[in-house]
Amino acid sequence: MYEVWMDVLMKTELFKNIPENDLKSMVYCLSPMVKEYRKGELVAIEGHKIKGIGLLLKGNLTISKDVIDGTSLIMKKIESGDMFGEIAAFAEKEVWPATVTAHQDSHVMFIPSERIVGLCPTGCIGHKTLLNNMLRIVSNKAINLNEKIEYLSVRSIREKISKYLIAQYKQQKSTTLFLNMNRNEMADFLNVTRPSLSREMSYMKEEGLIDFHRSSVKILNLERISTYLN
């Protein structure tokens, strides 16, 4: 019954490190529900009770937050193999924190949360791994959020730029950086306005800290930029 989706499931974080054979039997034990949605249909509604985690088997979803004036703000896109609702499903207040909409025709697998945490009656072999995965996923999420907070907690625009450039430097292992965002996106990411960002970058260029042209940035004085980190 679920065999069609086995190759998708194998690649998910949730079922990582679980051999295909074990997975096959475990899926039944989790009693998931596969639902189909047409483009534009609502998969989950903000504030409604959440019954379990969602796993996108096929298609595309968007997660959006309702805002007060009736419009909504797209927060994130979900692609095949991605999980959603994993945080809210196990939290105290079991409601969807956002609205999920099918952006294309989609197939979604819902797994009841109590089935994940519940010791299954047949004691299926991979269940321990599953729990480990679930805890790892949620913990990683928390750690990532914590990192983002460090980013946002920074006072000045210069500090934000410095933090961002040094993170890129560590990642790209070079002082000549190619940023994969344009100024607007970068400004959004750092939570500042574009002209303010451009201005500050220009100041830093004047001071000989960096050089840049559009999306390529060259770090000229790493030490001095580092002093802005803390």
Partner DNA sequence: TTAAAACTGTAACAAAAGTTACGAAAAGAG
Partner DNA sequence: CTCTTTTCGTAACTTTTGTTACAGTTTTAA
Residue numbers of the site for DNA (CB under 7 A)?
155-158, 182-184, 191-202, 212-215
Q: Which residues bind a second copy (CB under 8 A)?
A: 67-69, 87-93, 97, 117-119, 123, 127-128, 131-132, 134-136, 138-143, 145-146, 148-149, 152-153, 155, 191, 226-227, 229-230
For the bound state, the minimum distance from the C-beta of residue 215 to DNA, rounded and expressed in Å, comes to: 5
User: CB-wise, 5 or 151, nearer to a second copy?
Assistant: 151
Helix and strand counts by DSSP (H, E) for the chain = 8, 11
Q: Which helix (H) or strand (E) holds 107?
A: strand 106-112
Q: Which does 226 bind (CB under 5 to 8 A by kind): DNA, a second copy, none?
A: a second copy
* Smallest separation, CB 62 to a second copy (Å): 18
Q: How many CA atoms lie within 13 A of 34 on its CB side?
A: 14
Minimum gap (Å) between residue 1 Cβ and a second copy: 27
Q: Which is nearer to DNA, 48 or 199 (CB)?
A: 199
* Nearest CB to DNA, comparing residues 155 and 173: 155
CA–CA distance, 194 with 10 (Å, rounded to integer): 42
Using CA atoms, how far apart are residues 108 and 123, in angstroms rounded to an integer? 26
With a CB cutoff of 8 Å and minimum separation 6, the contacts of 84 are 53, 54, 55, 56, 61, 63, 78, 100
